[in-house]
């Protein structure tokens, strides 16, 4: 799930546009000489230039969630439509070694702007961990992939806001894990008041899943969710091998490509930003309050073990982004 990815999948995918590092980009994108691009990902200035067009060309509101020190340092940014209300939230790049999702969003911005032009409110955080993306790290604070060895923390760690797993009477963690984490999770809680998440798509990869991909389904309708079923169909049509049954390495049961329960059969509670967006209750300043309570939260996990082709992974993730209008329509039942 949010646990790793590098690739390897022989996919047969249709004609989905894929951005390459040598594509023409805005002038400010030319300076990314130190960026990791060996796998084909766009350099950080180039991909951020693509996302900036949501504001410059389409009138979306841009907000800096967290800026690293230094005038040339990366920044976690969001873009949202001026119109508010029950919204589509789309996230990616929580882990820096999972570049297919951010590049797929950058290649298919038209699908998002067309949905916004149709009146659907949207919040986009397409590259939530730009520092790690730039270096091909997993976490923002260390190149070590194993958090137990290197002390890495996820920018999407929300355990300090989520109820504990036993009684639910106190936060799961006593403190936030990092400054980026604090900024991102507080942004989510604030924006969820104006843009209540109706449907959340979070694009991930998994470099350790050699048997195929899968999706996680959370929210008020985790099982038999038509959005999840359609995303499974889209990934299969793109040629992505999907695990239809069995268990993940974490003991979670897979049903028709979908994981909606943990290893003990309970709702998924992984402490992530996805759980936060799905949570009915959260802790704010030590007090339990109503959470974002998204109806549908889908985490896409495409297999990305070593040797898989980047272009094909981007195309598969892009198939999901291209069909956001249809996915939104499937999720339009009243709150």
Question: How confident is the model over 9-35, as pLDDT tens digits?
Answer: 333 333 334 344 334 333 333 344 589
Q: Which of 100, 86, 90 is nearest to 11 (CA)?
A: 100
| Of residues 77, 75, 105, the one with CA closest to residue 90 | 105
CA distance 195 to 304: 32
- What's the fold here for domain 27-330? Aminopeptidase (3.40.630)
For 62, the enclosing helix (H) or strand (E) is strand 61-67
Q: Which residues contact 2 (CB under 8 A, 6 or more apart)?
A: 94, 95, 154, 156, 204, 270, 272, 274, 299
CA distance 95 to 302: 14
Residues with Cβ within 8 Å of residue 138, at least 6 apart in sequence: 4, 95, 96, 97, 132, 145, 152
How many residues in total does the chain contain? 335
Would you write out the chain's pLDDT as a tens digit for each of its 335 residues?
Answer: 443 333 333 333 333 343 443 343 333 333 445 899 999 999 999 999 999 999 999 999 999 999 998 867 899 999 999 999 999 999 999 999 999 999 999 999 999 999 999 999 999 999 999 999 999 999 999 999 888 888 999 999 999 999 999 999 999 999 999 999 999 999 999 999 999 999 999 999 998 888 889 999 999 999 999 999 999 999 999 988 899 999 998 899 999 999 999 999 999 999 999 999 999 999 999 999 999 999 999 999 998 877 778 998 899 999 999 999 999 999 986 54
- Residue 100 half-sphere exposure toward CB, CA atoms < 13 A: 33
Q: Which helix (H) or strand (E) holds 76?
A: strand 75-80
Domain extent listing, the chain = 27-330
Residues 6+ away with beta carbon under 8 Å from 186: none
Q: What is the DSSP string of 281-299?
A: EEEETTEEEE----SEEEE
The pLDDT tens digits of the residues spanning 168-213 come to 999 999 999 999 999 999 999 999 999 999 999 999 999 888 888 9
Count of CA atoms in the C-beta half-sphere (13 A) of 76: 26
User: Residue 63 CB: number of other CB atoms within 10 A?
Assistant: 15
């Amino acid at each position: 799930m949010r646990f790793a990815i590098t690739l390897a999948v022989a996919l047969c995918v249709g004609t989905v546009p894929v951005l390459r590092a040598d594509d023409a980009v805005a002038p400010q994108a030319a300076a990314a000489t130190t960026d990791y691009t060996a796998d084909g990902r766009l350099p950080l200035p180039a991909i951020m230039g693509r996302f900036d067009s949501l504001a410059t060309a389409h009138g979306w509101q841009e907000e800096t969630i967290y800026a690293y020190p230094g005038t040339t340092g990366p920044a976690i940014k969001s873009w949202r439509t001026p119109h508010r209300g029950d919204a589509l939230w789309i996230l990616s790049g929580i882990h820096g070694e999972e570049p297919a999702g951010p590049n797929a969003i950058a290649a298919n911005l038209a699908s998002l702007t067309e949905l916004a032009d149709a009146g659907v409110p949207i919040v986009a955080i397409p590259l939530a961990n730009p520092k790690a993306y730039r270096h091909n790290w997993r976490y923002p604070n260390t190149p070590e992939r194993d958090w137990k060895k290197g002390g890495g923390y996820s920018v999407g760690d929300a355990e300090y806001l989520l109820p504990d797993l036993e009684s639910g009477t106190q936060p799961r963690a006593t403190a936030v894990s990092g400054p980026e984490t604090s900024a991102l999770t507080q942004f989510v809680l604030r924006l969820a008041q104006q843009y209540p998440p109706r449907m959340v798509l979070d694009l991930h990869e998994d470099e350790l899943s050699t048997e195929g991909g899968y999706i996680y389904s959370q929210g008020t309708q985790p099982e038999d969710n038509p959005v999840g079923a359609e995303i499974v169909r889209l990934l299969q049509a793109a040629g992505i091998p999907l695990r239809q049954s069995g268990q993940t390495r974490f003991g979670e049961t897979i049903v028709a490509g979908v994981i909606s329960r943990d290893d003990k059969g309970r709702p998924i509670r992984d402490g992530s930003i996805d759980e936060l967006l799905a949570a009915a209750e959260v802790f704010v300043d030590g007090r339990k309050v109503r959470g974002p309570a998204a109806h549908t939260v889908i985490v896409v996990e495409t297999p990305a073990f070593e040797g898989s082709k980047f272009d094909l992974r981007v195309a598969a993730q892009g198939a999901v982004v291209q069909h956001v209008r249809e996915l939104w329509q499937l999720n339009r039942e009243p709150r």
